[in-house]
């Protein structure tokens, strides 16, 4: 069985943005089972939509973005294809994981999505995380893959 690595949204977004460091990191992780959760999927699609919206705008205006959402809906399919092509496992979340995320969020002073990711990693015995988010460095049981 392959060792699991949790793939944070920061790496996936950087990959889609053509960041060489992210491309190399994902390539380096081919021998691992890559995992995400529904939160990561949502973060990636949303942030890519916003980045695409901002390509032709000076500033982000949520009400205008929502009106123009149909221009960005193909990003759902693009991200889903990436997940399938990379054979990424989407880990399910449970009430126990959510409850533990509250404690871990308080302990490590994490934002809710990051706390949920840490809780998922702990629950599933994942010891490595591929991320560009320095907040995960606070978590002693997670090794940042670079």
Token representation of residue 17: 């943005």
Beta-bridge partner residues of 35: 6, 89
Query: Model confidence at 146, in pLDDT bands (50, 70, 90)?
Result: confident
The backbone region for 87, taken as left when phi is positive above 0, alpha when psi lies in -120 to 50, beta otherwise, is: left
Predicted local confidence at residue 59, as pLDDT: 85
- The mean pLDDT of 24-41, rounded to a whole number, is 97
Predicted local confidence at residue 138, as pLDDT: 96
Q: What are phi and psi of 36, to 5 degrees?
A: -140, -175
Domain 4-145: assigned CATH number:
3.40.50.1010
What would the pLDDT profile of 44-71 be if each residue is shown by its tens digit? 999 999 999 998 888 889 888 999 999 9
Q: What is the pTM of this model?
A: 0.94
Q: Where are the domains of the chain?
A: 4-145
């Amino acid at each position: 069985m392959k060792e699991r690595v949790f793939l944070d949204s920061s790496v996936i977004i950087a990959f889609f943005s053509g960041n060489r460091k992210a491309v190399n990191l994902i390539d380096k992780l081919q021998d691992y089972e890559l995992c995400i959760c529904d939160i990561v999927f949502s973060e990636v699609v949303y942030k890519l939509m916003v980045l695409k919206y901002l390509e032709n705008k000076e500033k982000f205006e949520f009400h205008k973005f929502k009106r123009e959402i149909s221009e960005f809906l193909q990003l759902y399919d693009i991200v889903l294809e990436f997940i399938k092509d990379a054979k990424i496992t989407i880990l399910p979340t449970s009430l126990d994981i959510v409850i533990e995320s509250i404690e871990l969020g308080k302990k490590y002073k994490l934002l809710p999505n990051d706390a949920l990711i840490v809780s998922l990693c702990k629950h599933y015995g994942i010891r490595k995380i591929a991320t560009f988010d320095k907040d995960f460095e606070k978590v002693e049981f997670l090794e940042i893959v670079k």
